[in-house]
Amino acid sequence: MNYTLFDFLTLVGSLGMFLYGMKMMSESLQRVAGSKMRSILSAMTSNRFFGLLTGIFVTIVVQSSTATTVMLVGFVNAGLITLKESIGVIMGANIGTTFTGWMISVFGFKFQISDYSLPMIAIGIPLIFSKAMVRRSWGEFLVGFALLFLGLDFMKDSVPNIRENPEIMAFVEGFSDLGFGSILIFLMIGTLLTVVIQSSSATMALTFVMISQGWIEFQFAAAMVLGENIGTTITANIAASVGNISAKRAARIHFIINVLGILWMLMVFNSFADAILRFVTSPGGMGMDSAAAIPTALALFHTVFNVLNVSIFIWFTPLLQKIVVKLVPQKVKDSEEEFRLKYITTGMLSTPELSLLQAKKEVQFFAKHSTKMFGFFRKMLKEPTDKKYNKLLTKVQKYEGICDNVEVEITNYLSQISQYKMSVNGQQRMRSMLKLVGDLESIGDCNFNLARSVNRMREKKITFNEEAMQKLELMFNLVEESLEIMRENLDKDESNINLGKAMQVEEQINNYRNQLKAEHLDNLSKEVYSYEAGILFNDIFSECEKLGDYAINVSEALTESASRRAMK
């Protein structure tokens, strides 16, 4: 055999260049369009068909079904998209990823796009050094596109020639004479390669090269493509492993759709593959007889399979949701699973006044869940077992991230409303809500800081005596009352807000903070507790006072908005 280690390393390096080019191109496109990807995914998932189109569009733009599904799992985990809404996008991603096969087939085999790779790099490199991010991203796209096809060209040249290496043909034929078993073997090879390389696009490129070089027959290449459809679901499932139950279910649905699709395809595989090949090569079909016919047939097989699969399963979206809920049961009812955008759909506005009503409901919902974090913090402070403590800490961390995301979504929604003509009252309400959302997110930050203080206590094995805990409990009760009044005011009509009661509790919090601060300095001088314990004690009651400030800010903003409208 004339194939050396150097030749093998050249093949691996070519694959690496293809992968790097794909990664560079995908990431640059995500930077150009990525700022809008979240709003697109959030906005266009109101029904399964919009979700389908969204999945196709986003996957073609970012050139990676993996990127789309991982992004989607992240949004489901953050509560920005529901499990039901994610199913259509997942199906669309399966169709969108077939674009890569056509790109490889057309540019990689019909045209020598690699001849233009170096000129593209020459154009792209100066753009990469531009100070403007958009130009820099387009430069990276050009360089990535060039590297992708250079890598594909090198792969074609570095794959061993079976005429010069008959041992390879003999090895491949050993798996080719097992009837339907051969189909299953090549399907598993496609799955394993995709799992190992973590890129269905790279595995697809290898498959296209192998079939163009005559290594394998069309049916076996088609089986590898089916296997790649299973392998590509692994990345999303890995990403979901650290997410909440909705994220796990979204990733599992991706796996179920692809596996069920492959099962029905295997029942008609030989007939289906032969029909595609005849259509491409016969005069009554596409009539192709060049070397590019087989890669084109493979790209067509991949596309038709995914389109048919989606056409079947899109009608069973509710059933798929029920199946995955049973497969991934919720062991303990977690309230965080309900923490998501509920009333607004970013980018899809009705009348401005109705949109403001939707936004108000969303703010009320946001307040309800952001204040729950304070309850988690109080439980953390008293929890003796590590398992339950860690679960509470994880909840606080997750809620803090969700608060950040929800703030962005509501703010973006209000910004879109501001572009429409509104009454003076509507403008006042919108400005008030913008401030409210920022204060509610700050409440989430304060709760997160309190949880971090408790975590430092636990790590350093610091405990407070009974007297200190009683003092903190009194502060916690005042803060809890302040948050409760804030939520009551948010739920009321703005003309009926009880600002007096809110101000009274705020004054009590400030006075008690001052008292604790004076006692804290006295205790430090008398060495009642260690300096490190004193710092944590001070951090906790000071953060509680800050949290109370944000709570009163919400009530004051509501009152101010009502007063201005009354003056108008």
Tell me what pLDDT residue 265 has: 92
Instruction: State the pLDDT confidence band at 331, using cuts at 50, 70 and 90.
Output: low
Tell me what pLDDT residue 347 has: 45
**237-241, 392-396, 430-434: least confident range:** 237-241
d(CA 234, CA 251): 9
Domain count, the chain: 2
- The amino acid that residue 45 corresponds to is T
Tell me what pLDDT residue 56 has: 83
- Establish if 1 belongs to a structural domain: no
- 287 and 375 in a single domain? The answer is no
In terms of pLDDT, which residue wins out, 501 or 527? 501
d(CA 443, CA 507): 18
The residue among 303, 327, 351 that closes a domain is 327
Could you report the per-residue pLDDT of 182-209, keeping only the tens digit for each? 888 888 888 887 777 666 777 777 787 7
d(CA 24, CA 555): 48
Which two three-digit tokens encode residue 347? 């980018």
In terms of pLDDT, which residue wins out, 3 or 84? 84
Helices 424-459 and 386-417 cross at an angle (nearest 10°) of 160
pLDDT at 508 over 90: yes
Which two three-digit tokens encode residue 227? 């296997």
Tell me what pLDDT residue 103 has: 75
Average pLDDT over residues 107-127: 75
Tell me what pLDDT residue 509 has: 92
- Establish if 336 belongs to a structural domain: no
- 276 and 405 in a single domain? The answer is no
Could you report the per-residue pLDDT of 416-425, keeping only the tens digit for each? 777 776 667 7
Average pLDDT over residues 344-355: 54
Tell me what pLDDT residue 211 has: 79
DSSP string, 396-417: HHHHHHHHHHHHHHHHHHHHHH
The residue among 273, 298, 327 that closes a domain is 327
- 424 and 317 in a single domain? The answer is no
Could you report the per-residue pLDDT of 255-272, keeping only the tens digit for each? 898 899 999 999 999 899
The backbone region for 38, taken as left when phi is positive above 0, alpha when psi lies in -120 to 50, beta otherwise, is alpha
Tell me what pLDDT residue 343 has: 63
- 298 and 355 in a single domain? The answer is no
In terms of pLDDT, which residue wins out, 143 or 25? 143
Tell me what pLDDT residue 162 has: 47
- Establish if 484 belongs to a structural domain: yes
- 223 and 316 in a single domain? The answer is yes
pTM attached to this predicted model: 0.54
pLDDT at 431 over 80: yes
Instruction: State the pLDDT confidence band at 75, using cuts at 50, 70 and 90.
Output: low
Could you report the per-residue pLDDT of 3-41, keeping only the tens digit for each? 577 877 887 888 788 778 867 776 676 566 554 555 555
What secondary structure letter does DSSP report for 418? T
d(CA 379, CA 287): 72
**Cβ proximity of 3 and 39 under 8 Å:** no
Instruction: State the pLDDT confidence band at 346, using cuts at 50, 70 and 90.
Output: very low
Average pLDDT of every residue of the chain = 78
d(CA 460, CA 519): 23
Percent of the chain with pLDDT over 90: 13
The residue among 327, 355, 382 that closes a domain is 327
Q: Calculate the dihedral angle through the C-alpha atoms of 157, 159, 161, 164, rounding to the nearest 10 degrees.
A: 110
Could you report the per-residue pLDDT of 273-309, keeping only the tens digit for each? 888 888 887 766 565 555 557 788 888 898 999 899 9
In 15-55, at which residue ranges do the beta strands (DSSP E only) sit? none
- Establish if 476 belongs to a structural domain: yes
Tell me what pLDDT residue 65 has: 67
Tell me what pLDDT residue 288 has: 58
- Structural domain boundaries, residue 402: 343-567
- 320 and 380 in a single domain? The answer is no
3-state secondary structure of 268: coil
Tell me what pLDDT residue 18 has: 74
Per-residue b or e along 414-437, where b marks 16 or more CB atoms closer than 10 Å to that residue's CB: bebbeeeebeebbbbbbbbbbbbb
- 491 and 367 in a single domain? The answer is yes
**25-29, 399-403, 520-524: least confident range:** 25-29
- Establish if 167 belongs to a structural domain: no
Tell me what pLDDT residue 144 has: 84
Could you report the per-residue pLDDT of 155-176, keeping only the tens digit for each? 766 765 545 554 554 555 556 6
Tell me what pLDDT residue 117 has: 80
**Cβ proximity of 105 and 299 under 8 Å:** yes
- Establish if 334 belongs to a structural domain: no
- 366 and 322 in a single domain? The answer is no
Tell me what pLDDT residue 61 has: 66
d(CA 281, CA 296): 10
d(CA 243, CA 78): 9
- Establish if 387 belongs to a structural domain: yes
**200-214, 330-344, 495-509, 510-524: least confident range:** 330-344
DSSP string, 134-162: HHHHHHHHHHHHHHHHHHHHHHHHHSPPT
**107-121, 218-232, 539-553: least confident range:** 107-121
In terms of pLDDT, which residue wins out, 72 or 43? 72
- 58 and 145 in a single domain? The answer is yes
d(CA 203, CA 532): 56
Average pLDDT over residues 323-333: 75
d(CA 19, CA 144): 9
CATH number (domain holding residue 545)? 1.20.58.220
- 320 and 414 in a single domain? The answer is no
- 231 and 282 in a single domain? The answer is yes
- 223 and 258 in a single domain? The answer is yes
Tell me what pLDDT residue 519 has: 86
- Establish if 555 belongs to a structural domain: yes
Could you report the per-residue pLDDT of 442-480, keeping only the tens digit for each? 999 999 999 999 999 988 888 888 888 888 899 999 999
